[in-house]
Amino acid sequence: MESSINLVSPKNAQLEKEQSRLRIARILALVAMFSVVAVAILVFVINLTLPINSIKQQESATLSNIAALHGKLVQYYLIEDRVNHISNIIAQRGQLPSTVDTLLAIVPGELSVNLLQIDAQHVSFDVSGASLVPMNKFIDDITLLGTQKNILKNVVIQQLSLDVKDSKYTISVQADLK
């Protein structure tokens, strides 16, 4: 029996498995290397096409514009708030300007108004002049304002005095507004 038995076979199953694993590892390494190269080339192209410095400059310019507009917005809100408050004051003020105009219109030319105080419900004023005749006309007109035009009520003459030095009569009147 001369046939020889070869105990070492030229094909080893474990060696073949390791070699196939090594081939797969080499292929994966090549794929990873090419993907890293592709990403690096892509980043390089993006950096060339989109300059970062200009984007940062545009960002800083936009932020400064926003800051300037913020100041204008604050001014706008302050002005709007003031206008609303003024509108509320004017709405609550009532008819005081027309009342003042009416009161000053009845003062004769020979008399002068020394003091005029008006609040929401009361008016008081001092009128002076050299003669009692215009004072009488003034008192009559004040009385008419209370009775006919319904502007004043409870008209009270506080004081009628004579300043001997200046030869002037002064009358102080206080009334309630309707």
The rounded mean pLDDT for the chain is: 85
Residue 149 has pLDDT above 70, yes or no: no
Instruction: Using pLDDT thresholds of 50, 70 and 90, give the confidence band for residue 94.
Output: low
Beta carbons within 8 Å of 143's beta carbon, 6+ residues apart: 155
Mean pLDDT of 137-154: 82
Q: What share of the chain is helix, strand, coil (3-state, %, to 5)?
A: 60, 20, 20
Residue 77 has pLDDT above 90, yes or no: yes
What's the pLDDT score for residue 95?
A: 65
Between 15 and 80, whose confidence is greater? 80
What's the pLDDT score for residue 119?
A: 81
Mean pLDDT of 18-44: 95
Could you give the CA distance from residue 25 to residue 90 in angstroms, rounded to a whole number? 87
What backbone torsions phi and psi does residue 160 show, to the nearest 5 degrees? -130, 115
What's the pLDDT score for residue 32?
A: 97
Whether the pTM exceeds 0.95: the reply is no
Instruction: Using pLDDT thresholds of 50, 70 and 90, give the confidence band for residue 89.
Output: confident
What backbone torsions phi and psi does residue 135 show, to the nearest 5 degrees? -65, -40
Could you tell me what percent of the chain has a pLDDT over 90? 29
Mean pLDDT of 103-126: 87
